[in-house]
Amino acid sequence: MTLSLQTFITESRNLASENIDMLSTIDMLTIINNEDKKVAQAIEQILPAIADAVDLIQTTFNRGGRLIYCGAGTSGRLGILDASECPPTFGSPAEQVVGIIAGGKTAILKAVENAEDNKQAGQDDLQALQLTDKDIVVGIAASGRTPYVIGAMAYAKQVGCKVISLCCNNNSEMSDIADVALEAIVGPEVVTGSSRLKAGSAQKMILNMLTTGAMIKTGKVFGNLMVDVQATNAKLIERQKKIIMEATDCTREVAEAALTTSGNHCKTAIVMVLTGLDVQQAKQMLASKKGFIRDCI
């Protein structure tokens, strides 16, 4: 059967950019910028559904499950990007948030022809991760009909996982499978069909919300401070000190001493300064309170 793209909003022509190839650079960029402004507005329309998705992910984390993104092309790369940034930002285990992409690792850097059309590959890749019903799967595709993603989502449902879809078209096949459907309708792209533009921006923003929201709700943030940040370079060590000072209103000297004593564990250092506990007591307190600093103080 021939695939018709005529009904997909993401594939329709944008009247505002019909003559963009004839414009001056500044006028061209103005059109792109004006279209980009629509992304946040589209996301605002589906905030309640995004909240439901965050709550599902929090529940998954609380029971030791994983968040697994699956996508093809730009969508797959965005999922991998979000997953890869969670450990340094939130101190989360590398296996807690995982991204898979049609075509495997090669597809991260360059297109793999026809990979997205393989529905069975989506199932196979989740089986390789030993998916269980404790996990949650987020299928990402601007069109909402990518076979690789649909195959992964359908298999996840068979296993008993909660499933979330993220796309930029209404009433998609992916949405029909999902427990929570996120449809960010950003409209036609400036360059027709180039879903790396507004659709990609919407996906990136929503993925940020999913992980950031779930990490906040599982104790990875104190106030608005990333208190579980992993210090892997000089800049991040300085950030840890700054976080401790801001969280406790202590001096730099106190922050440095607490950070050293805690073995460069920012959250432990904060609890030590705020409560007067020694390092072992602070660690035990954090463990008993499941990592929530507010519950320790």
Instruction: Please state the three-class secondary structure of 72-124 as a single string.
Output: CHHHHHHHHHHHHHHHHHHCCCCCCEEEEECCCCHHHHCCCCCHHHCHHHHHH
Q: How far is CA 136 from the centre of its chain?
A: 13
Q: Does residue 253 have an active-site annotation?
A: no
> Measuring CA to CA, how many Å separate 228 from each of 93, 141, 231?
11, 31, 9
Burial of 32 (0-12, 13-18, 19+ CB in 10 A): middle
Q: Is the pTM of this model over 0.85?
A: yes
Provide the token pair at 131: 């998916």
Q: How far is 293 from 277, CA to CA, in rounded Å? A: 13
Q: Which residues of the chain have pLDDT under 70?
A: 1-6
The predicted structure's pLDDT at residue 33: 98
Are 207 and 69 in contact by the 8 Å Cβ rule? The answer is: yes
d(CA 153, CA 71): 10
Domain boundaries, the chain: 9-217, 234-296
Report yes or no: 254 and 262 within 8 Å, Cβ to Cβ.
no
| CATH label, 234-296, candidates 1.10.8.1080, 3.40.50.80, 3.40.640.10, 3.30.70.20 | 1.10.8.1080
Q: What is the pLDDT of residue 8?
A: 85
- Identify the CATH homologous superfamily for domain 9-217: Glucose-6-phosphate isomerase like protein; domain 1 (3.40.50.10490)
Cβ(92)–Cβ(82) below 8 Å: no
**What pLDDT is attached to residue 1?**
39
> What pLDDT does 232 receive?
83
Indicate the Cα dihedral angle 89, 94, 174, 36, nearest 10°. 30
The catalytic residue among 116, 173, 183, 189 is: 116
Give yes or no: 85 in active site: yes
CA 222 to mean position of chain CA atoms: 20
